[in-house]
Every structure is written in structure tokens, then in C-alpha cells.
Amino acid sequence: MSWLVTGGAGYIGAHVVRALSAAGIAPVVIDDLSSGHDGFVPAGVPFVRGSILNRELVEETLREHEVEGVIHVAGYKYAGVSVTRPLHTYHQNVEGTRIVLEAMAAAGVTKIVFSSSAAVYGTPDVPLVVEDLPKRPASPYGESKLIGEWLIADQARATADTEAPLRHTSLRYFNVVGSADPSVYDTSPHNLFPIVFEKLIAGETPRINGDDYDTPDGTNVRDYVHVGDIAAAHVAAAQRLIAGEPIEAAYNLGSQNGLSVREIMDAMARVTGIAFTPEVGPRRPGDPDRIVATGELAARDLDWQMRYSIDEMVRTGWEARQNAL
């Protein structure tokens, strides 16, 4: 038996694939390479190039590889861009999740770990985000992830009294950084770490968007979590489903404390050895002072913990990016 990783050629998905293999669970990848890279898929791992929107292909993949469960990572992940491309975002994330669930039902696959997002909370006015906080997504991306959670929960309720009840969980997290494999790095043009790395490689000065927030150093504070820890939590969730153990509908993979953008910049200069003083620009509209999530439930059930310091997050990400030059 194997587990299908949708989006398994992407930055996060490729780390999940490696973590599954390390845990003795055979991974299978489906990815259309719209943002992933075939070189991120390890040799020997079955790779199906195609879209999760292709219902027949997804079902065929599930059947051919005798898939036991799905870790659903694939999706359009650009929250800011989703505001100007809402229909595309819903098509990829909502319709994509619906089709995955439909294919799973047809193939008799009854376990799913959904890679959701802390964007489902929007911009909460509390210092620490917990799972039962009201959901007020501030972008079509966040809305699409919340709808994905609803779809999965609805399908679980619909199948609860059948011979093949769906068991599931959703993992919510903010900013994923670093690398747990020197051949895999974040290629997103919208994430802070790769933006800073590309600036440094080009000999340019990174920029901070606003330094007058109500935080200790004036820059906004967010959760930054290492991709290796994120991948491990996805595998732990899959193992819990395999074992038939009780599992929550959703878990926050949070840092509990958060890091400020200036702390990130300081670590970038310290670890890379490239001295710079970041430029300071105006705030981005809608950016809250602080959003940090707790990870207590995930620590209880999924062995969730922050295993990497900020310097290790930067070092692993920088080394992986340097290896690609």
C-alpha cells in the first residue's frame, strides 16, 4: 500500500514525500508542475505528471498504485494574487479538492490529510491563534482552504455510517521556510525567504514593508516554521489515520512565539555573511501587527515541535538555494 501526495513535486510536497519514505510509507506523486519541479521528486518514487482537476487520472493513479490514503498538498497558494484571480483560485483549490474526494470515493480510499492554511483565520485580533477561533479569511485563497476543509468534513459525515467512512484531518500553518534536503528549496516569488535570498544573490538590498507596527521592534510578527517539521507533522497525521487512532478535525502547526521581519533580516545577514541594512518601505495594506498560532494540540497528537532555530532555518534554506546556482 502507498500514499498519494498531490503537489508532491513542490517545495512542501517534496519534503512530505521524503518524510513518508523515511517513515517506511511508499509515496506516489501527482503534480502538474505548474509551480513544482520534476527534479524535486526522488528517484524511484512513482511520478504522475498531471492535474488533480483530471478526475480520471486521479482515480487511475489511486487504483494503479493501491493507494491507502492521500496527503493533499496541491493548490494555488498565493494569497495576495488570489485577490485578483479569485476564479482561478477557487477552480484550483475548491474544485481540485472536490475532484480528489470524488476520485477517492470511487477508488475506495478512505484517509486524507489536508494541507490547509492559517489563512482561514484571516486577521484575528488575538495574540495567539487557537483552532476554535472564528474563521474569517481575508482572501480568496484563505476562503478556498476553508471551503476545502468543509468539503472534507461534509464527505466524512456523509460516509460515516457506510462501509467506507472517510477519516481526515486538516493542518493549518503560516510561513514555511528552510530546507530539510539540499536539493529542494522554496521557489515562490511571493515568500519572504526566497525574496530575500534572490535579492542577496543579485547584490541588491532586501526591503522591510513597514517598521511602525505595534511590536517590540516595529516590524510585524509571524509564525515561521521549518519545512522539515511541517513534513513530519503530515506524516504523523497519516500514521495516526493508518493506526485508527483518534484525531482532531484540524491542527495548528504554530510556533507559539513568532518572529519579526527584522529578526529574520538580522539572521539573514548573520548566517549568509552578507552584511546589509534593509531598506524600509511603507506598510502593505491589511498587514496586521502580529499573527502567531499555538501548536499545543499538534504537540499532543502529532509530535509537533519547533526543532530548528531561526539561524538553522536560514542556513538550511540558503544552502539549498546556493546548491541550485
Tell me what pLDDT residue 290 has.
86
187-197 pLDDT, tens digit each: 999 999 999 99
Beta strands in 218-296 (DSSP E): 221-222, 224-226, 250-252, 259-260, 279-281, 290-291
Distances (CA, A) of 248 to 15, 35, 111, 167, 182: 23, 30, 13, 10, 33
Say yes or no: 15 and 62 in one domain. yes
Amino acid at 23: A
Tell me what pLDDT residue 53 has.
98
Total structural domains in the chain? 2
How far apart (Å, rounded) are the C-alpha atoms in residues 225 and 223? 6
- Determine the structural domain holding residue 187 and report its residue range: 178-223+255-323
Say yes or no: 60 and 144 in one domain. yes
How far apart (Å, rounded) are the C-alpha atoms in residues 199 and 192? 11
Tell me what pLDDT residue 285 has.
72
Taking residues 301-318, what's their average pLDDT? 97
Shortest CA distance to 181 belongs to which of 278, 57, 317, 13? 317
Tell me what pLDDT residue 286 has.
67
Question: CA 126 from chain center: how many Å?
Answer: 23
Confidence band for 295, pLDDT divided at 50, 70 and 90: very high
Say yes or no: 238 and 303 in one domain. no
Strand partners, 198: none
Cell numbers standing for residue 291: 499573527
Question: Which of 78, 141, 173, 185 is an active site residue?
Answer: 141
Taking residues 242-264, what's their average pLDDT? 97
Q: What angle do CA 207, 36, 6 make, to 5 degrees?
A: 125
Distances (CA, A) of 56 to 1, 80, 107: 20, 32, 11
Confidence band for 124, pLDDT divided at 50, 70 and 90: confident
Q: What angle do CA 195, 33, 119 make, to 5 degrees?
A: 55
Say if CB 251 and CB 240 are below 8 A apart: no
Strand partners, 129: 293
Burial (0-12, 13-18, 19+ Cβ within 10 Å), 42: middle
pLDDT at 317 over 90: yes
31-71 pLDDT, tens digit each: 999 999 999 999 999 999 999 999 999 999 999 999 999 99
Amino acid at 248: E
Say yes or no: 99 and 203 in one domain. no
Of 235, 252, 269, the position where a domain reaches its end is 252
Confidence band for 125, pLDDT divided at 50, 70 and 90: confident
Tell me what pLDDT residue 287 has.
76
168-216 pLDDT, tens digit each: 999 999 899 999 999 999 999 999 999 999 999 999 999 999 999 999 9
Say yes or no: 140 and 286 in one domain. no
Taking residues 151-167, what's their average pLDDT? 97
How far apart (Å, rounded) are the C-alpha atoms in residues 16 and 104? 20
Cell numbers 483530471 correspond to 54
Give backbone dihedrals phi and psi of 67, rounded to 5 degrees, phi first. Answer: -75, 135
Mean pLDDT of the chain: 96
Q: In what order do the strands lie in the sheet with 290-291?
A: 259-260, 221-222, 290-291
Say yes or no: 27 and 162 in one domain. yes
Say yes or no: 236 and 318 in one domain. no
Point out the least confidently predicted range of 6-10, 134-138, 283-287: 283-287
Say yes or no: 207 and 232 in one domain. no
SS3 54: coil
CATH number, domain of 297, equals 3.90.25.10
How far apart (Å, rounded) are the C-alpha atoms in residues 318 and 322? 6
pLDDT at 13 over 70: yes
Say yes or no: 47 and 193 in one domain. no
How far apart (Å, rounded) are the C-alpha atoms in residues 174 and 58? 28
60-70 pLDDT, tens digit each: 999 999 999 99
CATH number, domain of 244, equals 3.40.50.720
Amino acid at 63: R
To the query of whether residue 11 is one of the catalytic residues in this protein, the response is no
Question: CA 296 from chain center: how many Å?
Answer: 18
Say yes or no: 210 and 146 in one domain. no
Say yes or no: 15 and 50 in one domain. yes
DSSP class per residue in 140-167: HHHHHHHHHHHHHHHHHHHHTTSSS--E
Say yes or no: 154 and 11 in one domain. yes
